[in-house]
A and B are shown apart, each in its own frame.
Chain A
């Protein structure tokens, strides 16, 4: 008995002593901050932060391995408390929300359907998910069960629908989805993303220079989700009202419905939702990332500059636009006439962009009123030059400087500077591009009785938008092909006659181009009160040669600003470019795409010093997506928006084309084939058809 007591007591004492010594010798000081942080965390041990429970997260936060706002379960208060303990401040973090691009396609009959499979992972393990598309959503809703915050629901078509208000971006659904079709995506990631060959892209989306996700917004219009449609467009294009009116929609040229039927009226639909937003009277709110502390100067307030400024602003940077003219808009305002793009609409659109917190200085000219040195001194970290193509090519003929000879862009800009040019009755326009057509149609509207458009090649070669040419013809403008001016004859120091020579096209040269050449002795005289030369524009860059600190900018032989194709960076590392001044005259939507591209480069340049190249960047159309026929397509006529009658429209500058009605928009959206979205599997469709045939014969 005594021995037992002594032994147990002794053992106890020895253990206690050893442990006591051990804790002294092996003492590890536990950071008191860890305990405090752990206290502040919710203690749910949900693991959404990526650490094994709240204690591990607290350790990571206290040792600086994780930021104080890492907790996804707790919401902003908790982040703030934790940050306070750590002596830091929290700034609102841009939400990263779960989303999926997959639309599930038109799913086939389930291959195996027996009790027991109620989970995507099980289905995936068993038969790899041979729904119609082997990559797509299986639709069992495992993600729904996995979400700790109840933010996912199964939609009517058995696709997950994410509630952005409930989603905390914990990533549970991403981890659980066996198909990997759910991702956490912030607006920043979306803005910085450019098409890659590896993606599931519809032809329209590949062709659009701004890379708008066209199938998605058409789908949203079909479902009546106009707000979502607008936001989809604005992830790529901040000027949908404008583009909805003036864009020659290259996307529609590659629309697959067009191979069997007429292409979908993509641009009408864009205009429809954009007009819907404007008629609501309020600019829809778009996300803006937390302030980055960087400042960018944007020179030129045309579509390239506006787009670049808009996306940089949304990425969290401070932006100031410097513009030489009294108002923003570039050629959209001073080139494109009122009857195509009413300026109150452009104003409303620009107001929305500037309203995101972009500073604007108008009436200041780069190279005269300020230069790069000034911008650097003012603390700008990068500069975007989007100064467009504001110089006109000269005809180089006698009499070009006479009174009554105009330059196309000068002529057009007069209307927007509150002047009406005096032009007389007979007007001759030289050129075949947009500027020429716009000048011709504008001249008609201010009282010219006879407008002739003289172009040295034939109609096929005209660079102007086809719809514009047709509209001009309808309005009674005479198109004179294969003719070039050679001399202008004055009377009393003013234009009186234009002498032109007839041209013919040579046989195609090795590059396939047919050049115009004059037919000898075919000179002809024609009466003219006014001659408008619109034979091409190029950037106005004389200041570059004159100002020494800008002189480092390289200029190409076409007088455009030189820059790297992959980054839009110029020879001065902090100066980027894009739009007409980089490519030469092009389209508004090209400039908008370039604006975002430059914004991406500038963002990385400022944050990381280096601009990562885009892997497999999609620059040409993906052959496999351009299928050349569509089976079983029923002809459904394309809708046409209402238009002003010719005899009323040529008397004023009222907008000619109008917007679609909601029901027409719905009908047109229904015509979309959802290329790249429908996961097309011929075998399964055939099997379904066979089954159907069998069941009907029985």
Chain B
């Protein structure tokens, strides 16, 4: 039950994109087509989970014992960036099909604030290992959900009649705003 709540909260209530406003760059950048949105979503789920696990370890076994938690942000950035690079190199060699599917999105994630954000949240909320894994996976899922829904909307509105000044990113941001408002409706769940 606890875990279910955790998942619902991460996916819907505290959606990383629409409630916490993290990771807006890929949200606008790769949401023009359903297929790319799906690819990006999967890549984020994967990276987010992995990054949280590693950073959780770094925090628990390096930062905490040495009492230098104030280095969290700095060290996490370093670790996440290297991790993503490492994963990319590894996948390219050993998992070609996965690389073909996710490869082009990985560099985009290197500096994705949503990944860092989730890693930091896990620490802030003092999750256990299992909770941390579930939470980061669910957050990734929330990211993917929002991205896919948004891509669906965008695929439709490119073919509708939009006043000139609002075309392109402008209408994208407005739509994102409305989506965010809609997601606020989930607030009542908790």
- Residues of A with Cβ closer than 8 Å to B? 3-4, 7-8, 11-12, 15-16, 18-19, 22-23, 25-28, 52, 115-119, 121-122, 142
Contacts and interface: CB of A to CB of B under 8 A. Distances in A.
B99 to A, nearest CB: 9
B92 A26 contact: yes
Contacts of A28: 92-93
Given A118-B161, A119-B160, A11 B79 contact: yes
Interface of B: 58, 62-63, 66, 68, 70-71, 74-75, 78-79, 82, 85-86, 89-90, 92-94, 104, 159-161
Contacts of A142: 159
Contact of A18 (B63, B75, B86, B161): B86
B89 to A, nearest CB: 5
Contacts of B85: 19
Given A116-B160, A122-B160, A26 B82 contact: no
20 contacts: A3-B68, A4-B71, A7-B63, A7-B71, A7-B75, A8-B74, A11-B78, A15-B82, A16-B82, A18-B86, A19-B82, A19-B86, A19-B89, A22-B86, A23-B89, A27-B93, A28-B92, A116-B161, A121-B159, A122-B160
A655 to B, nearest CB: 59
Nearest to A14: B82
Contacts of A121: 159
A378 to B, nearest CB: 51
A259 to B, nearest CB: 44
Contacts of B94: 26
A502 to B, nearest CB: 79
A538 B101 CA distance: 67
B90 A26 contact: yes
A12 B78 CA distance: 7
Contacts of B82: 15-16, 18-19
A52 B103 CA distance: 13
A11 to B, nearest CB: 5
Given A12-B78, A15-B82, A18-B86, A7 B93 contact: no
Contacts of B66: 3, 7
A49 B78 CA distance: 39
B54 to A, nearest CB: 11
Contact of A11 (B75, B104, B159): B75
B161 A117 contact: yes
A125 B93 CA distance: 44
Contacts of A25: 93
Given A23-B89, A26-B89, A27-B93, A115 B71 contact: no
Contact of B159 (A7, A8, A52, A122): A122
B35 to A, nearest CB: 10
A115 B93 contact: no
Contacts of A19: 82, 85-86, 89
| Residue of B74, B90, B159, B161 contacting most chain A CB atoms (<10 Å) | B159
Contacts of B63: 7
Given A7-B71, A8-B75, A19-B82, A119 B159 contact: yes
A11 B90 CA distance: 20
A8 B62 CA distance: 10
A325 B94 CA distance: 72
A7 B68 contact: yes
Contacts of B78: 8, 11-12, 15
Nearest to A27: B93
Contact of B79 (A15, A16, A118): A15
Contacts of B70: 4
Nearest to B68: A4
A116 B90 CA distance: 49
A286 B71 CA distance: 75
Contact of B161 (A15, A26, A115): A115
A130 to B, nearest CB: 18
Among B62, B63, B78, B94, chain A packs the most CB atoms within 10 A around the CB of B78
Given A7-B63, A11-B78, A18-B86, 20 more contacts: A3-B66, A3-B68, A4-B68, A7-B66, A7-B68, A7-B71, A8-B71, A8-B78, A15-B79, A23-B89, A26-B89, A26-B90, A27-B93, A28-B92, A28-B93, A115-B161, A116-B160, A116-B161, A122-B160, A142-B159
Contacts of B104: 52
A489 to B, nearest CB: 88
A8 B92 CA distance: 28
A7 B28 CA distance: 36
A620 B6 CA distance: 70
A26 B75 contact: no
B85 to A, nearest CB: 6
Contacts of A16: 82
B157 to A, nearest CB: 10
Contacts of A4: 68, 70-71
A26 B92 CA distance: 8
A118 B74 CA distance: 51
B30 to A, nearest CB: 12
10 closest Cβ pairs, A-B complex: A15-B82, A26-B93, A119-B159, A118-B161, A121-B159, A26-B89, A22-B89, A122-B159, A4-B68, A3-B66
A16 B159 CA distance: 47
A51 to B, nearest CB: 12
Contacts of A52: 104
Most chain A CB inside 10 Å of its own CB: which residue of B70, B79, B86: B86
Nearest to A18: B86
B86 to A, nearest CB: 5
Nearest to A117: B161
Nearest to B63: A7
A65 to B, nearest CB: 13
B37 to A, nearest CB: 14
A25 B94 CA distance: 11
A142 B159 CA distance: 9
Contacts of B161: 115-119
Contacts of B89: 19, 22-23, 26
Contacts of B93: 25-28
B92 A22 contact: no
A534 B46 CA distance: 88
Contact of A7 (B62, B90, B92, B160): B62
A116 B75 CA distance: 51
Contacts of A115: 161
B123 to A, nearest CB: 16
Nearest to A124: B159
Contacts of B68: 3-4, 7
Nearest to B87: A22
Nearest to A178: B159
Nearest to A116: B161
Nearest to A123: B159
A23 B85 CA distance: 10
A532 B94 CA distance: 88
A59 to B, nearest CB: 10
A176 B74 CA distance: 47
A116 B82 CA distance: 48
A118 B159 CA distance: 8
